[in-house]
């Protein structure tokens, strides 16, 4: 049975320091059924989190350390510690850092719209009590196997 029509849509915050990327992410997520707000810097994103109730956060910052800093700040704040967070990383960045820091999903550029929508939906829907086990699994998958020692 379809849900009754409503104007209330779950609200996401997108933090992206590249204007084009941020606007594209918000358009894609809006089309998928969310209402999105866009912050163009880590500082403004953290400020926005203090003022509005969100069901999730998408971080897409060019500097990977800035994205990790936002994620650390979110996880350290009792008011946002359980907020689902999706981190988008640039090629060459190590996605394991985002998992270890507490991301609920990690996407590596370039990714397609379906992957974005699916990861955000999964992160938002995943129960809080299942998130740590999911992260640990992903950390294990993102750490390359150690090379075999040379034979003597």
| Span 44-80, pLDDT tens digits | 999 999 888 999 999 999 988 999 999 999 999 999 9
Q: What residues contact 129, with CB distance under 8 A and at least 6 apart?
A: none
Between vectors from CA 118 to CA 112 and to CA 123, what angle results, nearest 5°? 130
For the chain, domains (ranges, CATH) are 11-141 (3.40.50.2300)
d(CA 48, CA 55) in angstroms, rounded, equals 13
SS3 (DSSP) at 59 = strand
Q: Which residues touch 81 (CB under 8 Å, ≥6 apart)?
A: 74, 75
Both structure tokens of 41 = 């810097």
Say what the pLDDT of residue 149 is. 43
pTM: 0.86
The pLDDT value recorded for residue 102 is 93
- Starting from the edge strand earliest in sequence, which strands make up the sheet with 11-16, in order? 35-39, 11-16, 56-60, 85-89, 105-108
Strand 85-89 versus strand 35-39 pairing type: unpaired
Which pLDDT belongs to residue 88?
96
Of the candidates 8, 93, 10, 9, the residue with the CA atom closest to the CA atom of residue 59: 93
What pLDDT was estimated at residue 132? Answer: 87
Cα dihedral 110, 114, 116, 118, rounded to 10, equals -140
Q: Name the band, by pLDDT with cuts 50, 70 and 90, for residue 20.
A: very high
């Amino acid at each position: 049975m379809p849900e009754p029509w409503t104007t209330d849509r779950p609200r996401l915050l997108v933090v992206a320091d590249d204007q084009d990327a941020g606007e594209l992410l918000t358009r894609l997520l809006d089309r998928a059924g969310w209402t999105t707000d866009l912050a163009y810097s880590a500082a403004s994103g953290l400020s926005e989190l203090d003022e509005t109730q969100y069901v999730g956060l998408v971080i897409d910052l060019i500097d990977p350390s800035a994205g990790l800093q936002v994620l650390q700040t979110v996880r350290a704040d009792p008011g946002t510690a359980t907020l689902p967070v999706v981190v988008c990383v640039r090629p060459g960045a190590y996605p394991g850092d985002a998992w270890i820091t507490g991301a609920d999903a990690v996407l590596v550029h370039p990714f397609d719209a379906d992957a974005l929508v699916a990861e955000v939906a999964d992160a938002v829907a995943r129960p809080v009590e299942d998130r740590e086990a999911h992260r640990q699994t992903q950390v294990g998958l993102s750490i390359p196997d150690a090379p075999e020692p040379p034979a003597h």
